[in-house]
Structure 1
Amino acid sequence: MRVDLHNHTYRCNHATGMPEEYILRAIDKKIDIFGFSCHAPMNYDPKFRMGYEEFKDYCIDIQRLQAKFSNQIEILLALEMDFLPNHLDLLYEDLLKAPLDYLIGSIHFLDDWGFDNPEFIGEYKKRDMLECWREYLASLKQMITTGLFQIVGHMDLLKVFNHQPPKILENQIQEVLEAIKKQNMALEINASGLRKPVKEQYPSERIIAMAFEQKVPITFGSDAHSVEHIGFGYEQVIEIAKNIGYKEAVFFRKKRMFFYDF
């Protein structure tokens, strides 16, 4: 079975294409279960996410597609939520409790630095990357222990511009994976890194292997921001997971985890 759980819509203001185009592409790519997980509204960085007033229409859009294509593909409704340490107040509580299939928790900011945005790439020259990685991993662990999310999105995103995590932090990475397992969450294998300067999936093969040793469940996601992104690198990340030893992955319906063979 083929499942793709991380995909966006034009409502986030930095993706293109209509949701129905995404579904037609997913069907063409023989995807069995496709999840929309657009950037959730929050009281921060409104330029790169839907507005709170759009959330209802976002749900209606996806529910219409669920009905229209019910005989061809299963469509899941979700959100990707930014986590800012010590600022849960920036998240809308009613969205956390909304009847969605899953929530992807992700970190795109260190303090007010959007580190994966090319617009702010110059900031890397001003930062101690060892300390950045320590802060990033600590924030991930804090995010996981909230128990608010089902999936950890692109776990090592901080490497996007080729700043890999120092080996000295392997124990801290291990602690993050142990927290994922303890919270009964899943680790996303995200193919979008193959389209970025780092030219590899998130997370690295080493981290995926560490997750396998801990029996951490995995999901797969294109992180599509255009129709052409759907299925990009899918076979490659599947092969990586298989070579490491994974035979099963998971998806979520109404925040309940289901396993499937891939």
Structure 2
Amino acid sequence: MGKVGNLTNYHSHSLYCDGRAGMEDFVRFALSEGFTSYGFSSHAPLPFSTAWTMEWDRMDDYLSEFRRLKAQYAGSIELYLGLEIDYLNEESNPSVRRFKELPLDYRIGSVHLLYNDRGEVVDVDVPADAFRKVVDGHFGGDLERVVRLYYKRLMRMLELGGFDIVGHADKMHYNACCYRPGLLDEPWYDELVHAYFSEIARRGYQVEINTKSYHELGTFYPNERYFSLLHDWGIRVQVNSDSHYPERINNGRPEALRALKRAGYETVMELYGGKWKEMPILF
């Protein structure tokens, strides 16, 4: 089978957050694979320290290292700088001034965290077995409540704005289905997802097809069952690998592009010359 086109990626993590290699390692691997456009999106700082987010005191280094790489590899590959910014609360989300003032090419908006009844921050972006313990230990085993809280936060993030790309749009679906098989076919869940994508379409956000877990878990985020819906509603998409390791920057991309073609998509969004452009899906 021939080499698949559309070799781009705008969701990746390096040693500035929870990635496993330096920024230049990702650039060099992208070049070796024939990528034409590549972007970094470290996890943005939160109001407290974590093992997976950047600290504010690293931000200047992040910006300057990117500028160095962009200059060094000019003419070989187009490099872009972003952040993956969490909606945590009204004071910490993609729309706040501190994030908006950063000299970034784009911003990804995501939700990884919920609050439990005691006001404690709980990470729900964890493996399925850990997710089960979170639901049982922090939310009394009420999966529906957890899912509704998650989508409520996603909807608020859409309302506040400050970002370009919706990150791993329905990532909880995998863990929730492991907790309760058949969830995706339950009417209340389907209603939540449709309302969510309807709002994305109304506000004009791009949606990434996140391929990070495709080889391991056999799913994209959002789930492939919604690709036709996204197409019918005119939602622009891009394919990103959410890579934490250089060798995984192309994981799942060919499969995602084929799935998008099956759903009716003819183009995906890519950054060239500093502008988002609709580019044909090539094989």
- The question of a shared fold, defined as TM-score above 0.5 by the shorter chain, is answered with yes
Contact 1:147/1:183 (8 A) holds in 2: no
Stretch moving more, 50-59 or 177-186: 177-186
- Cα distance in 2 for partners of 1:90, 1:234 equals 27
One-letter identity of the residue aligned with 1:114? D
What corresponds to 1:37 in structure 2? 41
Counterpart among 187, 191, 202 of residue 182 in structure 1: 202
Q: Quote the residue 1:140 is aligned against.
A: 154
Pairwise CA distance, 1:113: 1.6
Matched position secondary structure for 2:146: helix
Q: Give yes or no for the alignment of 1:114 onto 2:133.
A: no
Residue correspondence of structure 1 range 43-122 to structure 2 within 5 A = 43-88=47-92, 93-111=97-115, 112-118=121-127, 120-121=130-131, 122=133
Report the AA paired with residue 179 of structure 1. Answer: E
The more displaced of 241-250 and 162-171 is: 162-171
AA in 2 matched with 1:32:
T
1:155 match: 169
CA distance in 1, matches of 2:270, 2:164: 9
Equivalence for 2:22: 18
Which region of structure 1 is more displaced relative to structure 2, 224-233 or 114-123?
114-123
CA 1:199 to 1:127, structure 2 compared with 1: closer, same or farther past 3 Å? farther
User: Could you say which residue in structure 1 is the equivalent of 2:193?
Assistant: 173
Structure 2 unaligned segments of length 5 or more: list them.
1-5, 116-120, 178-182
Q: Bigger CA drift: 165-174 or 19-28?
A: 165-174
The 3-state SS of whatever aligns with 2:175 is coil
CA displacement at 1:3 relative to structure 2 = 1.8
Instruction: Determine which structure has more spread, i.e. the larger CA radius of gyration.
Output: 2
Deviations 1:2-56 (A, max 9, x none): 22110011111x2211111111111222221111001011213432111101011
Which residue does 2:221 correspond to in 1? 202
Q: Answer whether contact 1:40 1:82 (CA < 8 A) is retained.
A: yes
Alignment CA distance shift 1:29-1:81 (3 Å): same
Question: TM-score scaled to structure 1, two decimals?
Answer: 0.90
Any unmatched runs of 5+ in structure 1? none
TM-score (norm 2): 0.84
Q: What is the alpha-carbon distance in structure 2 between the residues aligned to residue 90 and residue 36 of structure 1? A: 16
Contact 1:34/1:76 (8 A) holds in 2: yes
Distance across 2 between alignment mates of 1:206 and 1:161:
16
Task: Tell me the secondary structure at the aligned position of residue 250 of structure 1.
Answer: strand
1:225 is matched with which residue: 244, 250, 255?
244
**1:42–1:92 Cα contact (<8 Å) kept:** no
Is the aligned partner of 1:249 residue 2:260? no
**1:5 corresponding residue in structure 2:** 10
What is the RMSD of the two structures over their aligned residues, measured on CA atoms?
Answer: 2.3
Q: Which amino acid in 1 is paired with 2:134?
A: E
Q: Which digits, 9 at most, give the CA deviation of each residue in 1:111-164, with x for residues without a partner?
A: 122112249432234432222222211211111111211000001111343625
* Aligned: 1:123 with 2:123: no
Shift of 1:256: 5.5
What is the CA distance between 1:91 and its match in structure 2? 7.8
SS at match of 1:47: coil
Against the structure 1 CA distance between its residues 251 and 90, is the aligned structure 2 distance closer, same or farther, given a 3 Å change threshold? closer
CA distance in 2, matches of 1:20, 1:232: 19
